[in-house]
Amino acid sequence: LGKLVFFYDDNGISIDGDVEGWFTDDTQARFEAYGWQVIKVDGHDTDEITKATEQAIAETTKPSLIICKTTIGAGSPNKQGLAASHGAPLGDDEIVLTRDALAWTHAPFELDDEIYEAWDAKAKGDVQQKNWDADFEAYKKAYPELASELLRRLNGELPADFESQAQAYIQQTQEQGGDVASRKASQNAINTLQPLLPELLGGSADLAGSNLTLFKGAKGIEKDSDGNYIYYGVREFGMTAIANGIALHGGFIPYVATFLMFMEYARNAVRMGALMKQRVIHVYTHDSIGLGEDGPTHQPVEQLTSLRTTPNLRTWRPCDATESASAWVEAIKSENNPSALIFSRQSLPHQARDSEQVANIAKGGYVLAKEQGELQAIIIATGSEVGLAMQAHETLSANGVGVRVVSMPCAEIFVEQDASYREAVLPANIRARVAVEAAHVDYWYKFVGLDGKVIGMTTYGESAPADELYKEFGITTEAVVDAVNSLV
């Protein structure tokens, strides 16, 4: 952190006006308490700023904060020191007065040659780049394999054999079967994929034991930076912002974790990662009322909709170990999209699939159970509710209803598929559609239409065992069967 130098413009003004009287922080003392080097300067004195910057760069054991005391809008006769110069143009008349006060005679966007040359670092940068290139060429000759690996990671490329080994693992999970909580299936995936991808850098906001994000060989990064896991503490926003920075730096694929409900604390950083198109993997466990007695403060309802409607973010909610493995692989492969992987606390039943169905998981949505006879209705489900949908399929099929089950672990990827595939999964002429998910119902009307029905949540949860809560809120096999029967 000794490389971090932060300049703080302390001008005493906010958008609302003078901060005196309500901003009582002692910024210097606060950052010194954090262990920073703090330097105070006159923000209008270039010599002081230069000396402070050199002092900050010389301090290599801790970050530095340079507090620059300034007057906002300095030089403007009528607006300097006022909030009026904070977020609005000075205005044509005030610009003329300011130019006179500063003796600035150059045209707009024109710099004096002396000033330009003082800030021009092209020649210096060119020398530094050539020196670095020469050093790296020497490194490549001495350590060709390490140099190649470094370039691969910095370029964000996956190992040449990653795809084949990852697909083999997905197929293995399908063949092994077995009921498992998807958070545990996630941990199994990390344990398998991390040795293939040493740049995978994990972390959790003080919930590693619950999120199950630790893997065999995980080593915490402390004063010794030779590690591969970060214990972030209870700081969901800071954790997610740091992950964005790691992704921007390059060379690592960061994943971070907390409860789905606590995503709210990280929301702005999640959005920024999506806006910047960074490959960050967000692991969110305890995904619904299925977490049970912790109650409505911990039971997410609207969070899935919030994530799914975030542009450029891909949200996965897998229903078993195979979909969990596929979600991890697709998130790792997603170079320009962050991903949110949503996992359950409770055990989920394994689903039977053929090889085509396993491959189609990567398309975001696929037919998990085909109709018997003529297609009359479609059930769409995700995560823990896929099991309910499959039970309803069995009951309805036994009663002669031609119903199929569509598992849609990632709706955002499904809608990116070509029209022919989407039509094959969700034929437009089948209007009898029921979606079931233990989350807010509104998101699913885009798939079921006004003629369809959605079984899910419209209120906050309650504190009770999971099976009782599912009954209380009407998220049951019987409810799915009744909904389908009402539409056919």
List the structure tokens of 293.
């007695």
In tens, the pLDDT along 49-59 reads 999 999 999 99
What residues make up the domain containing 130? 122-155
Closest CA to 289 of 460, 434, 412: 460
pLDDT of 125: 97
In whole angstroms, give the CA distance from residue 73 to residue 376: 69
What count of Cα atoms within 13 Å lies in the side-chain half-sphere of residue 83? Answer: 8
State how beta strands 200-204 and 229-231 pair. parallel
Q: What is the mean pLDDT of the chain?
A: 96
What average pLDDT does the segment 55-74 reach? Answer: 97
In a domain, 323, yes or no: yes
Selecting among 94, 236, 371, 437, the annotated active-site residue is: 236
**Is residue 367 within 8 Å of residue 357, measured between CB atoms?**
yes
What residues does 68 pair with on adjacent strands? 9, 41
User: Are residue 474 and residue 369 in the same domain, yes or no?
Assistant: yes
Q: Is 236 a catalytic residue?
A: yes
What average pLDDT does the segment 406-427 reach? Answer: 98
pLDDT of 399: 97
User: Are residue 297 and residue 229 in the same domain, yes or no?
Assistant: yes
In a domain, 354, yes or no: no
pLDDT of 126: 97
pLDDT category of residue 87 using cuts at 50, 70 and 90: confident
Tokens 């056919």 locate to 488
User: Are residue 232 and residue 202 in the same domain, yes or no?
Assistant: yes
Q: Give the domain-ending residue among 155, 180, 203.
A: 155
In the predicted structure, residue 224 carries a pLDDT above the cut 80: no
pLDDT of 1: 86
User: Are residue 178 and residue 326 in the same domain, yes or no?
Assistant: yes
User: Are residue 301 and residue 378 in the same domain, yes or no?
Assistant: no
Q: What is the pTM of this model?
A: 0.93
In the predicted structure, residue 380 carries a pLDDT above the cut 90: yes
In a domain, 436, yes or no: yes
In a domain, 357, yes or no: no
What average pLDDT does the segment 239-248 reach? Answer: 98
Residues 6+ apart with CB under 8 A from 426: 365, 378, 380, 406, 433, 447
Q: Give the domain-ending residue among 113, 140, 155.
A: 155
**Is residue 247 within 8 Å of residue 224, measured between CB atoms?**
no
User: Are residue 474 and residue 377 in the same domain, yes or no?
Assistant: yes
In the predicted structure, residue 472 carries a pLDDT above the cut 80: yes
In a domain, 431, yes or no: yes
pLDDT of 226: 87
| Domain count for the chain | 4
User: Are residue 186 and residue 330 in the same domain, yes or no?
Assistant: yes
In whole angstroms, give the CA distance from residue 240 to residue 256: 7
In tens, the pLDDT along 91-138 reads 999 999 999 999 999 999 998 899 999 999 999 999 999 999 999 999
List the structure tokens of 113.
């040659």
pLDDT of 222: 87
User: Are residue 150 and residue 206 in the same domain, yes or no?
Assistant: no
What average pLDDT does the segment 23-39 reach? Answer: 97
User: Are residue 342 and residue 196 in the same domain, yes or no?
Assistant: yes
In the predicted structure, residue 437 carries a pLDDT above the cut 90: yes
User: Are residue 144 and residue 247 in the same domain, yes or no?
Assistant: no
**Domain with 432 in it: what CATH number?**
3.40.50.920
In a domain, 80, yes or no: yes
What region, left, alpha or beta, does residue 448 occupy, with left being phi > 0 and alpha being psi -120 to 50 degrees? alpha
In a domain, 372, yes or no: yes
**Is residue 278 within 8 Å of residue 247, measured between CB atoms?**
yes
User: Are residue 267 and residue 322 in the same domain, yes or no?
Assistant: yes
In whole angstroms, give the CA distance from residue 148 to residue 160: 12
**Domain with 185 in it: what CATH number?**
3.40.50.970
**Is residue 392 within 8 Å of residue 338, measured between CB atoms?**
no
User: Among residues of the chain, what percentage have pLDDT more than 90?
Assistant: 96
In whole angstroms, give the CA distance from residue 186 to residue 283: 9
**Is residue 212 within 8 Å of residue 344, measured between CB atoms?**
no
* 3-state helix/strand/coil string of the chain: CCCCEEEEEECCEECCEECCCCCCCCHHHHHHHCCCEEEEEECCCHHHHHHHHHHHHHCCCCCEEEEEECCCCCCCCCCCCCHHHCCCCCCHHHHHHHHHHHCCCCCCCCCCHHHHHHHCCHHHHHHHHHHHHHHHHHHHHHCHHHHHHHHHHHCCCCCCCHHHHHHHHHHHHHHHCCCEEHHHHHHHHHHHHHHHCCCEEEEECCCHHHHCCCCCCCCECCCCCCCCEEECCCCHHHHHHHHHHHHHHCCCEEEEEEEHHHHHHHHHHHHHHHHCCCCCEEEEECCCHHHCCCCCCCCCCCHHHHHHCCCCCEEECCCCHHHHHHHHHHHHHCCCCCEEEECCCCEECCCCCCHHHHHHHHHCCEEEECCCCCCCEEEEECCCHHHHHHHHHHHHHHCCCCEEEEECCCHHHHCCCCHHHHHHHCCCCCCCEEEEEEEECHHHHHHHCCCCEEEEECCCCCCCCHHHHHHHCCCCHHHHHHHHHHHC
In a domain, 353, yes or no: no
In tens, the pLDDT along 173-203 reads 999 999 999 999 999 999 999 999 999 999 9
What count of Cα atoms within 13 Å lies in the side-chain half-sphere of residue 144? Answer: 1
Distance from the Cα of residue 336 to its chain's centroid? 12
What average pLDDT does the segment 326-346 reach? Answer: 97
User: Are residue 177 and residue 314 in the same domain, yes or no?
Assistant: yes
